[in-house]
Amino acid sequence: MMATINNNYFIAEDQGTAFFFVRVLTTSILTEIKAICSKLGFINFVIQGFISTIEDSHFVKVEVKE
């Protein structure tokens, strides 16, 4: 059962991978992303950020690591 996530940054989750869009990756936003991943049941995970040079939003991908 997937947790209901109400957050402006959260896009989707699929089989141990979560996706987010952020304007700026601050410490407080990173803390929110970690909390969302915990709600999704992610215990051990890696956060990757992809910076866009042409858009205002940046892509953040979180993957569960076994």
* pLDDT at res. 1: 42
Query: Residue 24 domain-assigned?
Result: yes
Query: Residue 2 domain-assigned?
Result: no
Entry pTM: 0.81
Helix, strand, or coil (residue 57): coil
Q: Where are the alpha helices (DSSP H) in 1-66?
A: 27-39
CA-atom Rg of the chain in angstroms: 11
Query: Residue 61 domain-assigned?
Result: no
How far apart (Å, rounded) are the C-alpha atoms in residues 25 and 51? 10
Please list the pLDDT of the chain residue by residue as tens digits (66 residues): 456 778 888 999 999 999 999 988 899 999 999 999 999 999 999 999 888 888 788 899 999 998
Number of domains forming the structure of the chain: 1
> What DSSP state is assigned to residue 25?
-
Q: Provide the domain limits for residue 37.
A: 10-56
Query: Residue 1 domain-assigned?
Result: no
